[in-house]
Structure 1
Amino acid sequence: MNSSLAAQRPLKVVHFVTGGFTGSTKVAIDLIRAVKNNPAFSSMLVLRKKSSTDQARVNQLQAEGISLKLVAGWSHLATIVELVRICREYQPDILVTHGFSEHLWGRYAGLIARVPHLIHVEHNSRERYTPLRLLQARWLAHYTDKIIGCSEGVRSRLLELGFPAHKIMAINNGIQLSDYANADAVPLTERIPGIIMPARFAKQKDHETLIRAVALLRDKNIIAPVLFAGAGNKRHIAKAKKLVDELQLNGQIHFAGHCGNLPFLLMRHQICVLSTRYEGMPLALAEGMAAGCAVIGSAVIGVQEMIIHGSDGLLVKAQCAYAMADAIEILLHNSTYAQILAQQGRQRALAEFSLDRMAQAYEQLFSDLQQTALPALPEQLLLEN
C-alpha cells in the first residue's frame, strides 16, 4: 500500500451490492474483510434489500464489526434516494457498485451525492440488459472511473457491449484460501464418494441438469449421494424438489440449504459440480478446487477460464445431462485420474484464485484513483446540487 496514503486520513470506500447474498455480495464482503484492520481504509457495505435477504446473516456481519446499511429494494427510486442519503452522511471517496442492476442505481446515487470516484463491477457474462438499461449503463460509463470484469471472459463481454475500452479492466475473483489449508489432510479416497454442488437456487444455476444426470447414472446402477449446498429462490428450490420426486431420487439427493460450514463439506466430498447456464467467475468452483475436490463445470464463459479440461478438472456441454453423467461416471470409476485432477485443481486454485491477489488489485486501484483528477459531473446534476 502507498505509504503516503497510509499517512493521510483513511480512504472511505462504500461497496453497494444486492442483499440477495449472491457471489457478488460475497466478493464485496470479502473485500471489506481484507482491509478491516488496515488503517488506510474505512469501508462500508450497503445492501439493496431483497425478499431473500437473510436478516440473520446481516446481523452476523454487523456483529463481526462490518459497517452495514440496508436500502430499500422495492423501487429503483427508493433505492437511489436512500443511497444518496447514506453517501452524503458518510462522504465516501469511492463508491464501488457491484452487479446488475445495482451498478445502475448505485452510480445514479453516487452522481447525485457527488461521490468523487465511481466504479462499476460486472459479475456475470450475461446480464438482463434491455436496450434502455444498456443505454443507461453506457451513459453512466462516461462518469465512471473504472469498469471491472470479474474475469477475462466478463471483460471481453463488456467490450462487446460497447463500454469504453480504456476504462475496462479485469480483476479475477478470489477466495479465502486459509479456509482450505487442511484440504490435503483428507485424501480423495477417504472422502464421501459423492457429489456436492455449492450454488444458490436461481435461474442462472442449472441444478436440473445434475438431477437428470444422477437419474441416468442410477439407471446404470451407479449410485452416488448428492448434496445441494445453497439457499436461494423458493420457486427454483420447489421446482428442483419436484423433479427429484418425479425421478424418485429423494433418498439420494439432499437439499441442505445455506451451509455455514461449506469448506468442511467440500473437503469431505470427492466431486464438486457446478452446473450452470452462465457465469462471471464462480467462487463455488474456486472453492471446490481449493478443497481438493475433483471438479466438473459447465463449459460456459467464466467456467471455461478456470478449468483446463482433462488437466485440473472436466468441462461438459452446458445443459446436457448425458455429458454430465459421463463425466461423473469417469471420476467415480477412475479414482487415480480423479486424484490427479483434484491435486492439480487444488494447485491451480492456490496459485491463481486467492482473495489476497484480488484484494491487492482493488487496493492498488483505489490508491491510484485517489491520485487522479475528479471526473466532470453532468451539468444537470451540478445545477441541481
Structure 2
Amino acid sequence: MKKILSIVSGNPSGSLNIAIDISNYLKTKGYEVIDIFRKYNNTDLKGIIVIKDKFTIDYILSLGEFIRHSKPDLIIVHGYSTHIWTKLALVYAKIPVKLIHVEHNTEKYTAFRRYLTQKLDKYTDKYICVSKGVANHLIKQGIDKSKVEVIYNGIDIQSFDLAKEKHDIFTVGMVARFSKQKDQMTLIKAIEYLIKEKNEKINLLLMGIGKTRKKCEKYISEHNLDNNIKIIEGNFKDLIVKTDLFVLATHYEGLPLVLCEAMASKTPIIATDVPGVNEIVLNEKTGLLVKENEVSDLANNILRMKNDENIREFFSEKAYRFINEEFNLELMYKNYERRIKEFL
C-alpha cells in the first residue's frame, strides 16, 4: 500500500476542506493517507497528526523527523507558507520522496519567501494550481513552469439543490471572511447608495468572521442601516436560501468555491473582475463582473439584476450548467488520482 502524507495548515479554510476531501477520496482508493496539520487543529476532525509550530524551525525539524521515520511515497502539501517549510523539512529528512505542491491562492510572496520557493523548486515534482490566475501568479515567483498544472476545485453540486425561503424584499447576500481582501465595505456602501439615493427597497445579509467585522458593524449602525443590512450567523446554506443575488466584492482570490456553491444553488452572481473569480464568473454569461473597490459600478449592476428577473434566470441556468461541466467533485477527484498514479 502506497503511503501519502497530506499536509495543510490546521486553520479552517477552503484549502483545508479541499485537502481533506482529496485525502478521504484517496483512502477509499486503497492509499494509506496520513493527514498532518501545521500548528494546530482548529476543526472537529479526528485522527489528525499535528506538528507543533512554536517557531518555524521547530516545525521544519519535527516534520523532517516524521518524514524520515514514516518513509512516505508521496507528500501533498497545500498552501502558503506551509509548502515552503514542508519542503525544507524534506531537505532535512534526506530521503527521496515525491512532492506535489497545491497552490490555492494568488499569495503575496515576500522577497525572502520567493527566494526560498525558487531554491526549493528542485524538491517539487509538480505544482497543482486551482486556477489559471493562480498558476500565472506562481510562475512569476520564478519556479519551473513546465511542472505547473491547473486542476479546478470541485463541489458536491447536488447538495446545494435548496428551496428558497419566501421573503418580500429583494435580498443580496455575501459569505466571506471579514477582511480587507474580501471588502464587505464596498458592498455595504453600494447597498446604502441604493437605499438612500435611489430609494430602493433592498436588503443585504452578510456572514463571516474576521478582523474587519467590527468596523462593518460600526458603519452599519452609525449610518442607520440596521433595518436593511444584517450580519447573521450560520453557514453558507443558511444564507443562500434567503437571497435573490450573491455578491463577492473581493480584491484577489485563488478559486473562490463560494461562487461555485452559489451557482449550484441557482443564485445569480455579481463579483469583482479579478484572477480566479473571472474563471468562474464569465461576464454576461454566468454572471456579472464589476470593477473592484467601485461602489457605483457595483450598485448599478445590483440594480440591473434587481430589476430584471429574466436576466437573473438566464445567468442562473447558464452558471448551473457551467459548474456541472467544470467544477464537479468527481472530476476533481479523477484529475488528482490520475496525477498521483503517474507518480506512484
Aligned-partner Cα distance in 2 for 1:46–1:237 = 31
SS of 1:142's partner is helix
1:18–1:310 distance in 2 versus 1, CA, 3 Å: same
**One of 213, 216, 219 as aligned partner of 1:243:** 219
Q: How far does the alpha carbon of each residue in 1:81-114 deviate from its partner, in whole angstroms, 9 at most, with x for none? A: 3323443454322111211111111111233233
CA RMSD of aligned residues (A): 2.2
Residue aligning to 1:377: none
Aligned-partner Cα distance in 2 for 1:163–1:191 = 53
1:18–1:201 distance in 2 versus 1, CA, 3 Å: farther
Matched, 1:209 2:200: no
8 Å Cα contact 1:191/1:268 also seen in 2? no
Aligned-partner Cα distance in 1 for 2:8–2:208 = 19
Residue aligning to 1:21: 12
1:1-385 correspondence to structure 2 within 5 Å: 9=1, 11-38=2-29, 40-49=30-39, 54=42, 58-59=43-44, 61-62=45-46, 67-113=47-93, 114=95, 116-125=97-106, 127-180=107-160, 182-183=161-162, 186=164, 193-219=170-196, 220-231=198-209, 233=210, 235-257=211-233, 259-260=234-235, 262-370=236-344
- TM-score, structure 1 normalization: 0.82
1:267 Cα deviation after fit: 4.0
1:268 Cα deviation after fit: 4.1
- TM-score, structure 2 normalization: 0.92
Aligned-partner Cα distance in 1 for 2:9–2:227 = 35
8 Å Cα contact 2:266/2:319 also seen in 1? yes
1:269 Cα deviation after fit: 2.1
Q: How far does the alpha carbon of each residue in 1:167-197 deviate from its partner, in whole angstroms, 9 at most, with x for none? A: 11111111122312x34x55x9989731221
1:45 Cα deviation after fit: 2.4
SS of 1:35's partner is helix
Q: How far does the alpha carbon of each residue in 1:307-358 deviate from its partner, in whole angstroms, 9 at most, with x for none? A: 1211110100011111111111111111111111111111111111112111
Q: Quick one: percent identity of the two aligned structures?
A: 31
8 Å Cα contact 1:99/1:121 also seen in 2? yes
Aligned-partner Cα distance in 1 for 2:49–2:201 = 46
Aligned-partner Cα distance in 2 for 1:341–1:81 = 51
8 Å Cα contact 1:92/1:115 also seen in 2? no
Query: What residue identity is the alignment partner of 1:292?
Result: K
Deviates more, 1:95-104 or 1:153-162: 153-162
SS of 1:312's partner is coil
Query: What residue identity is the alignment partner of 2:192?
Result: A
Return 5+ residue gaps in structure 1 as ranges.
1-8, 371-385
1:92–1:241 distance in 2 versus 1, CA, 3 Å: farther
Aligned-partner Cα distance in 1 for 2:215–2:85 = 31
Aligned-partner Cα distance in 1 for 2:191–2:96 = 51
Aligned-partner Cα distance in 2 for 1:107–1:314 = 40
